[in-house]
Structure 1
Amino acid sequence: MDEVLRNLKPVRPPRFASVRSIVALILREMSATYGRSPGGYIWAVLEPALGVALMAAIFSVGFRSPPLGTNFPIFYATGLLPFFLYINVSTAVAQAINQSRQLLNYPRVTFIDAILARFILATLTQLLVGYLLLTGILMVFETQTILNLPMILLAYSMAAVLALGVGLMNSVLMTRWAIWHTVWSVFNRPLVIVSNIIFLVDEIPEPFRSWLMWNPIVHIAGLMRHAFYYSYEAAYVDVMYVFLVALILGTIGLLFLRRYYRDFLEL
């Protein structure tokens, strides 16, 4: 009997099982999120486009020129697009466990697969939206901006990593306490005002400016603006601070999910 047991090989999951699971989940999310509504992906583009257009229309009435440059649409697009990426991606990650409860009962599907699938789909969608909207603005208007592509990608990376960290932490809180979804929504409502999007943080007097520096989105928006406006130095931007906040939140959220997500599914 001992010899038989020694000859038995451990059962290993098929290679690339997680990759196949993630791809399948992405296709499922695409169908569920965009395939059931008229227009599908078109609405994902129209939402930020209308947001930028509304901001530009409102502030062009009261101001001769935006805080940077001469073009309102590109100024607000550079602030709103990474902000929309953060909001949409963090929301998608936070709801991954709750919206994949039935799938997580399958042994081949892990909570990491569900989170990565929603994170990848939401991030790619927002990158496509940003590319289409910025390209359209640059083609239609004379923005007088000089693009720094590596810095643009860095700003988007900061927004995506921060969204993942916040989403992982919120996934724990929202799965454990349903009321946290409402609390977080209320907390996020004034975020666009205090995130260096509508007004530049440079124009805000102390001590309020120092307080706003604790908001990671302020640094993301500042770097994005620096990537388009060469003369805007944005010396306050701290890239490592954003990544550190994302790492701390993401690590805490991941540790709690790894330990308790099975218990959360039974709630």
Structure 2
Amino acid sequence: MSRNPAPSIPSRAAPGTAGTPAATPRLRPVHRQRSFASLRAISALVLREMATSYGRSPGGYFWAIAEPVGGIVLLTAIFSLGFRSPPMGTNFAIFYATGVVPFFAFMSLSTKVAQSIRQSRQLLAYPAVTFMDAILAKVFFNVVTQLLVGYLVLSIIVLTQETRTDPQVLQIALAYAMAFTLAIGVGTVNCFLFTAFPWWQQVWSIVTRPLFLLSCIFFIFDDIPDAFQPYLWFNPLVHVVGQMRSAFYPAYRGDYVTPVYVFAVGLVLMAIGLLLLNRYHRDLLNS
């Protein structure tokens, strides 16, 4: 009987021979690819925002800053003629500006964020562009713009007039952080509501008109009668304006200012708005 031959062991092929399996190419992580795609989309949306808003007018982006700066300075000059004795300090211009600058920053940013989907509806039809890209582009563009507006307005007043104030940079930064967080939260919720229910934009415009008087721009919270203070305290803009004024008037304590409350309101609204947009943004685009 013949013995079965021992099984042959295949020899190990040398590198580069036909028997060697091809090396698997390294693939970039999906999240890194998505991050680069989002960055490109946000950059393109920011450039589009600049081109569509100010590209056709001479001066371009210059008017994005000059227009609100001129408006605030003009209002400050007009009201300074009628109110020579401010409720705080000796200069009405800086008192009024410390209230109106963060207020307008909130109103402008919240309005722009609320229009993110409606103004970028055509671009959002492409899979590479998401609603988050549109919102982040609006936030970046308008935050930078409002910071420049506030810097110019407040610097002009401080450098040209005797304000007797001592601006604290960190406290000013906190006031802006409160205003921007609140604005993004309100704008995100309204981004869903404006698109789903177009009539809500008119209702919101009517509802927010009294805010100019109810946000302590012309007076301070401490001068309000005690019977109304508990109700006005729930207006987050009262805390934003109070924080800005305490940054310029170190002697002003502003014990009522509660940054945690403003951040909580802004973040909760932001979470609600993002949840609604994540669930219904495709339906909104197709409606």
Give the TM-score of the pair, scaled to structure 1.
0.92
- Structure 1 residue runs without a partner (length 5+): 1-6
Q: Which residue is 1:109 aligned to?
A: 129
Q: Distance in 2 between matches of 1:131 and 1:88?
A: 16
1:1-267 pair list within 5 angstroms? 12=30, 13=33, 16-40=36-60, 41-42=62-63, 44-61=65-82, 63-267=83-287
The root-mean-square deviation of aligned C-alpha atoms, in Å, is: 1.9
Deviations 1:44-103 (A, max 9, x none): 333344334324423532x44111111111111111111111001001110000100000
Q: Which has the higher helix share?
A: 1
Q: Which has the larger radius of gyration?
A: 2
C-alpha displacement of 1:42: 2.7
The letter for the 1-side match of 2:79 is: I
1:4 maps to which residue? none
Q: Is the 8 A contact 1:48 1:81 kept in 2?
A: no
Equivalent pair of 1:147/1:227 in contact (CA under 8 Å): yes
Q: Percent identity?
A: 51
SS in 2 for 1:197: coil
1: CA distance, partners of 2:35 / 2:225: 57
CA–CA distance in structure 2, aligned partners of residues 59 and 145 of structure 1? 17
CA contact (8 A) 1:76 1:197 kept: yes
After superposing on structure 2, the runs of 4+ consecutive aligned residues of structure 1 that deviate more than 6 Å are 7-11
Q: Deviations over 1:9-64 (max 9, x none)?
A: 89944651111111111011011112223444335333344334324423532x44
CA distance in 1, matches of 2:52, 2:65: 14
**Count of aligned pairs between the two proteins:** 260
Task: Give the alignment's TM-score, normalised by structure 2.
Answer: 0.85
Whether contact under 8 Å (2:181, 2:263) holds in the other structure is: yes
Q: CA offsets, 1:213-258, max 9 Å, x none?
A: 0000000000000000011111100000000000111100000100
* Paired AA for residue 45 in structure 1: A
Q: Which runs of 5+ in 2 are unaligned?
A: 1-23
Q: In structure 2, do the counterparts of structure 1 residues 161 and 11 end up closer, same or farther at CA, with 3 Å as the change threshold?
A: closer
SS in 2 for 1:164: helix
Q: Which amino acid aligns with 2:169?
A: L
